[in-house]
Amino acid sequence: MKFNTKTIHGGQKPDPAYGAVMSPIYQTTTYAQDTPGGHKGFEYSRSKNPTRSALENAVASIENGNYGLAFGSGLAAIDAVIKLLKSGDEVISTSDLYGGSYRLFTAVFEKLGIKFHFVDMENTDNIEKFVNKNTKLLWVETPTNPMMNIIDIKGCAVLAKKYNLLLAVDNTFATPYLQQPLDLGADIVMHSATKYLGGHSDVVLGVLALKDKELADRLYFIQNASGAVCGPQDSFLVLRGIKTLHIRMQRHCENGRDIAKYLAKHPKIERVYWPGFKDHPNHDIAKSQMTDFGGMISFTTKGNNYEESIRIVENLKVFTLAESLGGVESLAGHPASMTHASIPKEEREKTGVVDSLIRLSVGIEDIEDLIADLEQAIG
Ligand SMILES: *Cc1c(COP(=O)(O)O)cnc(C)c1O
């Protein structure tokens, strides 16, 4: 099956009870047994629920994996991966990663004795310096947020193989429509399905996809033992979202390209961060591991004025000023005053999050309306 067919049919079959084409929402905790242990594969919904299983099968299919696991949020999915490790183990992580992942690593897991190195991974040689006998996991996020840096997944896979490390990739920004990390050598793919997989800004959920049975069994054990599972209603919403992932992503990419080009020509814009530009520092890697460049764009304005950028995001009318990303509607954010406000100015500026930086999650509205909105807001 090819990708667009997989988003609709991958891992799915009509429900055995009445032939329902969409998985019913099995809003139940428990399942009747004929005799002790005589059940139809489901005993208790923390361990397994048919709606969640339908979603997990779909996720495994679109990521070219064999196993999927769904959790109550993206962070709960990451939490399960880190619980593969034990005190004394070390992780090498992308430096400019999602703030919530950074908080989970440093404020929760470091206390439990796991050590994290946050490394600029744009050049894979940088990573090798941090490998030692305790290193167990490479945690890679690409493209990064909000600077849209690209990390070479294949290069990381070579390193992971050489030192016998697990390679996990947060594929939230790219989605499997653009990038399939398991095929590039990753062991685990993670998503905040809250974003593009769900696609409609109405559900918080996280997933993992993987190929290896032994690793899947260990993660399933953690999923059931820790219990951070998603409910059947939320599983249904993400399953429904996945069925249109390919057409949504196609439009996100088209609109993203037009807006990146529009901004690059605008006299008030200083710099546009979008991996589709030939002069993006990692454009060649982006081109080799992604089929297109997505709908996430960041830009700065000339003069780097904090108030000016606040005024721009406040003036937007079609773009909504909000956190999050990946929904059908266009969103705009100002990292310095929103997602990165708690990071000291000098620290955030080191990674490129300057006062005027604005991040766009370009939606799937008519491009003319989006550009007109930017035009009136930037002035
Ligand atoms: C949102 C996000 C997460 C966290 O997911 P939640 O569903 O909010 O828990 C992790 N990684 C990336 C890249 C994200 O954008």
Q: Assign residue 199 a region: left if phi > 0, alpha if psi is -120 to 50, beta otherwise?
A: left
| pLDDT at site 348 | 87
**195 included as an active-site residue:** yes
Percentage helix, strand, coil for the chain under 3-state DSSP, each rounded to 5: 40, 15, 45
Cβ of 195 closer than 6 Å to ligand 1, yes or no, is yes
Encoded tokens for 170:
């947060």
| pLDDT at site 343 | 78
371 contacts: CB under 8 Å, gap ≥ 6? 258, 259, 262
**Which of 75, 97, 340 to mutate to test ligand 1, by most ligand atoms within 8 A of the CB atom?**
75
| pLDDT at site 350 | 86
Residue of 6, 52, 136, 195 marked active site? 195
Cβ pair 274, 293 in contact under 8 A: yes
**Ligand 1 centre distance from Cα of residue 317 (Å):** 25
Mean pLDDT of 122-127: 92
339 pLDDT tier (thresholds 50, 70, 90): confident
Nearest partner of 12 among 43, 53, 42, judged by Cα: 53
**46 included as an active-site residue:** yes
Encoded tokens for 95:
């430096």
344 pLDDT tier (thresholds 50, 70, 90): confident
Query: In whole numbers, what is the pLDDT of the chain averaged over residues?
Result: 96
* Domains delineated in the chain: 3-242 (3.40.640.10), 245-378 (3.90.1150.10)
Cβ of 100 closer than 6 Å to ligand 1, yes or no, is yes
Strand order in the sheet with 331-333: 269-273, 296-301, 358-361, 331-333, 320-321
Cβ of 201 closer than 6 Å to ligand 1, yes or no, is no
The C-alpha atoms of residue 177 and residue 221 are separated, in whole angstroms, by: 29
298 contacts: CB under 8 Å, gap ≥ 6? 146, 147, 148, 272, 273, 274, 335, 357, 358, 359, 360
Nearest partner of 357 among 315, 296, 293, 310, judged by Cα: 310
The C-alpha atoms of residue 6 and residue 175 are separated, in whole angstroms, by: 14
Mean pLDDT of 156-166: 98
| pLDDT at site 180 | 98
Mean pLDDT of 350-357: 93
**170 included as an active-site residue:** yes
pLDDT exceeds cutoff 90 at 376: yes
The C-alpha atoms of residue 190 and residue 76 are separated, in whole angstroms, by: 10
Name the pTM for this structure: 0.97
| pLDDT at site 263 | 98
Collect contacts of 309-312 with beta carbons under 8 A, ≥24 apart: 309/334, 309/336, 309/355, 309/356, 309/357, 309/358, 310/334, 310/337, 312/358, 312/377, 312/378
Which helix (H) or strand (E) element contains residue 137? strand 135-141
Residue pLDDT, tens place only, 195-207? 999 999 999 999 9
**18 included as an active-site residue:** no
Q: What percentage of residues in the chain have a pLDDT greater than 90?
A: 94
**Which of 171, 194, 201 to mutate to test ligand 1, by most ligand atoms within 8 A of the CB atom?**
194
Nearest partner of 153 among 126, 133, 182, 132, judged by Cα: 182
CA angle 293, 269, 373 (to 5 degrees): 75
What number does the ligand 1 atom closest to the CA of 172 have?
Answer: 13
Mean pLDDT of 347-360: 92
| pLDDT at site 13 | 94
Residue pLDDT, tens place only, 239-280? 999 999 999 999 999 999 999 999 999 999 999 999 999 999
CA distances to 182, 252, 373 from 366, rounded to whole Å, are 34, 11, 11
pLDDT exceeds cutoff 90 at 351: no
What number does the ligand 1 atom closest to the CA of 141 have?
Answer: 13
| pLDDT at site 47 | 98
Mean pLDDT of 139-160: 96
pLDDT exceeds cutoff 90 at 74: yes
Strand order in the sheet with 188-192: 67-71, 206-210, 188-192, 166-170, 135-141, 90-94, 115-119
Q: Which ranges in 63-174 belong to alpha helices (H)?
A: 74-82, 99-103, 125-128, 153-163
Q: What percentage of residues in the chain have a pLDDT greater than 70?
A: 100
